[in-house]
């Protein structure tokens, strides 16, 4: 009798577990289906900024569907279970869906999105590249600092600026990789690195930026002067004053502005 009761109890437990497993499977399938339906809402639709531009020119009628931000909100509410299908959309052929997926992946902040977003920085489609680059700033993963710093060297249109914005969002982890770019052979890279250092607000950049005031290219000198003004460190006062008579007018203007921020010039 006792043995039969034990067997019955075990059988009952197994049935409960089996039912629970089936329920979990149904729930997972239901979530996957919901994510797919949400992504279907943005497939084939133009990215929002482009849509507004075309609508403003009268070249595109206002879309009747939900705004993509509403769809994004629903996906953010789904949370981590949405990540696999968002990655699939990011890597897929539908450009609007890929752009949208990059944006949502960044805002979700899930570390599984890091490698797909880094890979998408080299996507042949410009809008996907830019959105993936910006999304890495939103993702907030410190491992994104190195690839983002490398992207300020990019020859793709708009990507260096997108990488700069993402690095500023990333904050302190971006400091060292960006600082290294202040010695880059390319003038545009050095100038952009100086600007980013000013926006990061880390005073460890003061001495390197003071050295950059002696750069042979006026773009770099002007950005270094601007950055020193943003940092607001008195150590820059003397070196900046020495550039008030720089040969380049843009540099002189940047120096005057920086000294004003330091309280030296009205």
CA 174 – CA 146 distance, rounded (Å): 8
The conformation of residue 265, written as its DSSP 8-state character, comes to -
Q: Does residue 18 surpass a pLDDT of 90?
A: no
Domains and CATH numbers, the chain: 30-170 (1.25.10.10), 177-266 (1.25.10.10)
pLDDT class for 34, splitting at 50, 70, 90?
confident
DSSP 58: T
Rounded Cα gap, residues 165 and 48, in angstroms: 20
pLDDT level of residue 16 (50, 70, 90 thresholds)? very low
The answer, as to whether pTM is greater than 0.95, is no
Has residue 240 got a pLDDT over 90? yes
Average pLDDT in the 4-12 region? 47
pLDDT attached to residue 45: 59
- Return the number of other C-beta atoms located less than 10 Å from residue 238's C-beta: 10
Contacts of 108 (CB under 8 A, 6+ apart): 75, 76, 79, 80, 82, 83, 86
Mean pLDDT of the chain: 85
Residue 251 pLDDT exceeds 70: yes
Least confident of 7-16, 80-89, 118-127: 7-16
């Amino acid at each position: 009798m006792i043995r039969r009761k034990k067997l019955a109890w075990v059988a009952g437990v197994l049935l409960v577990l089996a039912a629970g497993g089936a329920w979990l499977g149904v729930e997972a399938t239901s979530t996957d289906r919901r994510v797919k339906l949400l992504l279907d809402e943005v497939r084939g639709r133009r990215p929002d900024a482009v849509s507004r531009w075309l609508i403003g020119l009268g070249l595109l009628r206002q879309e009747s569907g939900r705004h993509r931000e509403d769809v994004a909100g629903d996906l953010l509410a789904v949370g981590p279970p949405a990540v696999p299908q968002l990655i699939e959309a990011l890597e897929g052929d539908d450009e609007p869906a890929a752009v949208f997926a990059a944006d949502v992946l960044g805002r979700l902040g899930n570390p599984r999105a890091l490698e797909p977003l880094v890979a998408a920085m080299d996507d042949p489609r410009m809008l996907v590249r830019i959105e993936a680059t910006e999304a890495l700033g939103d993702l907030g993963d410190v491992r994104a600092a190195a690839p983002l710093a490398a992207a300020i060297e990019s020859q793709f249109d708009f990507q260096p600026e997108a990488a700069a914005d993402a690095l500023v969002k990333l904050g302190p982890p971006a400091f060292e990789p960006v600082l290294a770019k202040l010695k880059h052979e390319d003038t545009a890279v050095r100038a952009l690195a100086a600007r980013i250092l000013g926006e990061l607000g880390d005073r460890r950049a003061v001495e390197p930026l003071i050295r950059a005031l002696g750069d042979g290219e006026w773009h770099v000198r002007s950005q270094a002067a601007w950055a020193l003004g943003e940092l607001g460190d008195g150590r820059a006062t003397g070196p900046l004053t020495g550039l008030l008579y720089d040969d380049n007018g843009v540099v002189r203007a940047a120096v005057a502005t920086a000294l004003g921020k330091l309280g030296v010039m009205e």
